[in-house]
Structure 1
Amino acid sequence: MWSVPSQTHKGAYLVDTAGDRPACVCPDFEDNGNAEGFDCKHITAVRITAGEIEAPAQVKDEKPGKRPTYKQDWGAYYLAQTREREHVETMLRDLCRGIQQPVSKRGHPRKPLADVVFAAVMRAYSGLSSRRCASDVRAAKEAGHTSSMIAPSTLVTYLDDPKLTDLLRVLIRESAAPLAEVETTVAIDSSGFSTNTYSRWFDHKWGKERKRQKWVTCHIMCGTTTHVITDALVTTGNAGDAPQLPELLTNTAERFDVANVCADKAYLSHRNFDEIEAVGAVPYIPFKVGSIGEGSEMWRKMYGLFVYKNDEFRKVYHARSNVETAFSMIKRKFGASVRAKKFTAQRNEVLCKVLAHNLCVLTMATYELGIAVEFWGSTHEESQHVH
């Protein structure tokens, strides 16, 4: 056993040379250990130290180069940042105009659902509580974006309505539609949002009560060029990742011509491969150590690419890191936690953050890519079934 210090953080990785071929516990070897002749940098370091191979000349002589940099249109970035809020409000108003008001059969007339959604999303965008964002809701009414004033208590009540969940998901998909011509490679992943609720139990072994903070998990599929989220759903913290792919992919494929789907090993399954192939896309999902190349034609094809042409596989697969960027954008801008106490309200609160994120992405796209943002086309048929 060899202990190889990590270059990126404290600690070390263990390399075992006792078997037929060396093995390492690092993530790189775990992802690509099946590839024939693959050695991670830790195994290579051990072989050099043991005298099995000689260090390449460039490793000996060359100094580390500069980190790669990427061009940024700073003029477009400046305009998008300084004018973002006005664009977000205008696009959200146009998006909410596609919401059909449900018919009230009895009791007092209900508040316009479009105004409620507008207030809920602007609450998520501002990061304020329902009471503290009341002035923003009032300003939106004065600007003509809404037709009525939504009280904080009314907003909280609507957020706890399960029917609002389907409507928010429809709006998320519609908000991503203007970028359908830009995005052909999508990535899927999940991330947790913390809550203010706890699960409690009595620990008989130690004779005292224990508690643990609850989480909700947001599953998203996003474009890897602009980070727009094509569809999202929210589950409890213990829900699996792989079963969520078919629904997210099917909804995405309704508007996007998906060519590639990138995901980590948590989504590796024969069913997911079949679902991806059914929409005419190619799955770039790394195989596990125990995976074998037996299955559908697509499974065998991608297994061969992963094992024998791993560099070619990784060039597309690494677009998956953009889904991590999308989550980082949401959490850093709109917060990594939710205020609501009940699960339905927590779910709707996270979906409002996702929708606010998409509107920010569209704002950047209008300046950087020259995208003309239009929603619903000439009809609002899709939103009519969600009230």
Structure 2
Amino acid sequence: MSISITIDQSYERLLRMKKAARMKEKLHREQMREANQIAREKQAQEEKAKHTNPSREHVRRDWARYNEAEVREHQHVIKVLLPELCKVGAERMGDSSIDAEYIPQKTGRGRPKLKNEDILYCAILKVYSNRASRYSAGLMEMVENMSIINRAPHFNAISKFLNREDVTVHLRDMLRLSALPLSPLETKFAIDSSGFRTTAYNSWMPEKHRVKVKNVWLKAHIASGVLTNIITDAKITDGNASDVLEFRELLGNTMEIFDAAEVYADKGYIARYNLQFAEDRDIAAFIPFRKSDRSLARGSPAWYHAHQRFTENPEEFYSHYHLRSNVETTFSCIKEKLGETLKSKNKCAQINELYCKLIAYNLTVVNKAMLMYEVQPDFLSVNLRVENDSNAAEV
């Protein structure tokens, strides 16, 4: 009898111990759950603090002027801004005229000459209209009847013009000229790149190995002002070109027109020579470091200074870095308004077409800034240095 009582007591004690262990484990799980919840909330607040600037005041948009700018955009760009820019661009190209085909309205012998001013205007207008060459022929006749150009070219003349390699440097110069009116406004700039799709596809390999056919892309590297999203400079490369090598050239060309104080870029542009290039010119560069990056200067004091600023005060760093998102807005506006796909077939024409697309976008920004910030376009205020795309910045 006593043995059975002892067994029952031992069994009850064992049950109580198991129950106490389960209660203790349950309490521990609840405590861990609460701790994890607190940690997640804290992390979320830190992430939010990285991408927001508490000191930044909300700027209320002047909707009356914004609406007026949007309503008048087409007429003002076609009648005022584009003719003025093309006139200056033609003067910078020189006095040489371009052999081209016309709608038959000849006088005298031989093929008539097409003025640089007219062909520049028609090429950019064709891209701005986002239509193919044949469909834009009627638009060219309309602007001729409005006496904006001397004579409407044949639609093939525009394609031949865009296929000229020597035109690329002049279009890049015109892009920088189109940003001149906003030079008093912009002091902070963001640099990034984005792809634009062409109509070409990969050829034999997809068919042979039955893989998905992909478009060939061109990449536009741009420097953009963070206040108005104006493009201050751009360079067109292949779709797989590196971003880090274009930083110095874009920033250096921007400094010829604008007084740059800060520049923003993503991790793809982090390099010692880029940070040193900016610091030597008294420009604060906000480029985030990778996890594997260390503070070793290795001949670049700017690298050490930037790494210390990034690690010791990340909240201050991200309060500036969040302005980089404006360059993403710039690309979004270009692709939404003027299209993502390039219509030209040859690579040279595709590059020139993309430059025309960026010029047309800049003119829409200038049109809006004339009302929002009361600026006046003056494309002759700075004597720019025209260089070929092959002349990159020194390492």
Residues 1:367 and 2:371 are matched in the alignment: yes
1:258 alignment partner in structure 2:
260
2:296 alignment partner in structure 1:
294
1:224 alignment partner in structure 2:
226
Q: 1:207 to 1:338 in 2, by over 3 A?
A: closer
1:25 alignment partner in structure 2:
none
More helix by share: 2
TM superposition score normalised by structure 2: 0.77
SS at match of 1:319: helix
2:72 alignment partner in structure 1:
83
Give the whole-Å Cα distance in 2 for the aligned partners of 1:58 and 1:311: 14
Give the whole-Å Cα distance in 2 for the aligned partners of 1:293 and 1:110: 61
- Aligned-residue offset at 1:208: 5.1
RMSD of aligned residue pairs (Cα, Å): 2.9
Task: Map 1:44-123 onto structure 2 (within 5 A).
Answer: 49=33, 51=35, 54=38, 71-89=60-78, 90-98=80-88, 99-100=90-91, 101-103=94-96, 108=111, 110-123=113-126
Give the whole-Å Cα distance in 2 for the aligned partners of 1:169 and 1:357: 13
> Which range moves more in the overlay, 297-306 or 316-325?
297-306
Residues 1:190 and 2:193 are matched in the alignment: yes
> Which range moves more in the overlay, 244-253 or 274-283?
274-283
- Aligned-residue offset at 1:304: 1.1
Match of 1:148 among 136, 146, 151: 151
Give the whole-Å Cα distance in 2 for the aligned partners of 1:333 and 1:48: 51
Residues 1:126 and 2:126 are matched in the alignment: no
- Aligned-residue offset at 1:145: 2.1
More strand by share: 1
Decide whether the 8 Å contact of 2:169 with 2:388 is kept in 1: no
Give the whole-Å Cα distance in 1 for the aligned partners of 2:258 and 2:41: 47
Q: Which amino acid aligns with 1:160?
A: N
Decide whether the 8 Å contact of 1:201 with 1:210 is kept in 2: no
* Bigger Rg, structure 1 or 2: 2
Q: 1:262 to 1:209 in 2, by over 3 A?
A: closer
Q: 1:246 to 1:385 in 2, by over 3 A?
A: closer
Give the whole-Å Cα distance in 2 for the aligned partners of 1:48 and 1:151: 75
Give the whole-Å Cα distance in 1 for the aligned partners of 2:294 and 2:384: 46
Give the whole-Å Cα distance in 2 for the aligned partners of 1:328 and 1:53: 36
Q: 1:53 to 1:275 in 2, by over 3 A?
A: same
Give the whole-Å Cα distance in 2 for the aligned partners of 1:48 and 1:305: 34
Give the whole-Å Cα distance in 2 for the aligned partners of 1:229 and 1:143: 30
Percent of pairs with identical residues: 33
Q: Which amino acid aligns with 2:148?
A: H
Q: 1:191 to 1:52 in 2, by over 3 A?
A: closer
Task: Map 1:271-282 onto structure 2 (within 5 A).
Answer: 271-282=273-284
Give the whole-Å Cα distance in 2 for the aligned partners of 1:210 and 1:337: 19
SS at match of 2:379: coil
Q: 1:223 to 1:207 in 2, by over 3 A?
A: closer
1:160 alignment partner in structure 2:
163
Per-residue deviation, residues 201-230 of structure 1 (Å, max 9, x unmatched): 3479x7558743211111110000000000
Q: 1:57 to 1:187 in 2, by over 3 A?
A: closer
Give the whole-Å Cα distance in 2 for the aligned partners of 1:56 and 1:327: 33
Give the whole-Å Cα distance in 2 for the aligned partners of 1:349 and 1:56: 48
Match of 2:348 among 321, 344, 367: 344
Match of 1:178 among 176, 181, 184: 181
Q: 1:109 to 1:246 in 2, by over 3 A?
A: farther
- Aligned-residue offset at 1:168: 0.9
Decide whether the 8 Å contact of 1:195 with 1:337 is kept in 2: yes
Give the whole-Å Cα distance in 1 for the aligned partners of 2:260 and 2:275: 14
Give the whole-Å Cα distance in 2 for the aligned partners of 1:105 and 1:73: 45
TM superposition score normalised by structure 1: 0.79
Decide whether the 8 Å contact of 2:198 with 2:216 is kept in 1: yes
SS at match of 1:336: coil
Q: 1:307 to 1:133 in 2, by over 3 A?
A: same
Decide whether the 8 Å contact of 1:200 with 1:212 is kept in 2: no
Q: Which amino acid aligns with 2:116?
A: L
Q: Which amino acid aligns with 1:219?
A: H
Q: 1:58 to 1:241 in 2, by over 3 A?
A: closer
SS at match of 2:220: strand
Q: Which amino acid aligns with 2:356?
A: C
Q: Which amino acid aligns with 1:348?
A: N
Q: Which amino acid aligns with 1:115?
A: D
Give the whole-Å Cα distance in 2 for the aligned partners of 1:56 and 1:211: 42
- Structure 2, unpaired ranges of 5+: 1-30, 44-56, 100-109, 390-395
- Aligned-residue offset at 1:143: 2.2
Q: Which amino acid aligns with 1:146?
A: I
Per-residue deviation, residues 301-322 of structure 1 (Å, max 9, x unmatched): 2111111100100011111000
